[in-house]
């Protein structure tokens, strides 16, 4: 995690705790000629536009005070949406029983992209029930091989 991401996390956490919200992720990325600081927030019932606006205003004030980012950037505060990333331990535990998508650094059981139901997570491995054509299969993925994981919308 970059220093900017860490600092934004430190600044955002008390604001979010105050509002009973959770910090899901922070991204500081360049797209074209513009820089974007994206802060993704959530709570059990989901967040609304008003909550995003309040967090944006409060965080913007803190960032203006400290001025830690030398380049111009756009601050965006939003919900992670239906395909929320799974990054922290609690994200994986909360996703048990839900449909997920996992991309791995190297193939696991011949697959680099796995989509199915997360049946268990023990901190070291994810167990995912997948359908391959008409056959059910269980894939066990070592956590260190996970490049990206997120909730996935299932259309079945």
Question: Mapping DSSP to helix (H, G, I), strand (E, B) and coil, where does residue 89 land?
Answer: helix
**Number of helices and strands in the chain (H, E):** 3, 8
Q: What are 21-70's pLDDT values in tens digits?
A: 999 999 999 999 999 999 999 998 889 999 999 999 999 999 999 988 98
**CATH code of domain 3-78:** 3.30.300.70
List the chain domain ranges.
3-78, 89-151
> pTM for the full model?
0.76
Which of 151, 126, 152, 119 lies closest to 141 in space, CA to CA? Answer: 126
Class for domain 89-151, per CATH?
mainly beta
Mean pLDDT of the chain: 92
Query: How far is residue 64's CA from residue 57's CA, in Å, rounded to a whole number?
Result: 10
């Amino acid at each position: 995690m970059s220093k900017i991401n860490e600092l934004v996390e430190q600044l955002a956490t008390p604001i979010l705790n105050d509002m009973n919200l959770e910090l899901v992720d922070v991204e500081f990325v360049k797209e074209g000629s513009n820089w974007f600081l994206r802060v993704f927030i959530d709570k059990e019932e989901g967040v609304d536009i008003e909550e995003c606006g309040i967090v944006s205003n409060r965080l913007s004030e803190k960032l203006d005070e400290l001025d830690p980012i030398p380049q111009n950037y756009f601050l965006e505060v939003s919900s992670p949406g239906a395909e929320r990333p799974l990054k922290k331990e609690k994200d994986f535990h909360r996703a048990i029983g839900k449909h997920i998508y996992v991309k791995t650094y190297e193939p696991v059981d011949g697959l680099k992209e796995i989509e199915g139901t997360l049946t268990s997570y023990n901190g070291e491995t994810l167990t995912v029930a997948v359908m391959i054509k008409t056959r059910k299969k269980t894939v066990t993925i070592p956590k260190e091989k996970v490049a990206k994981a997120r909730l996935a919308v299932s259309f079945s």
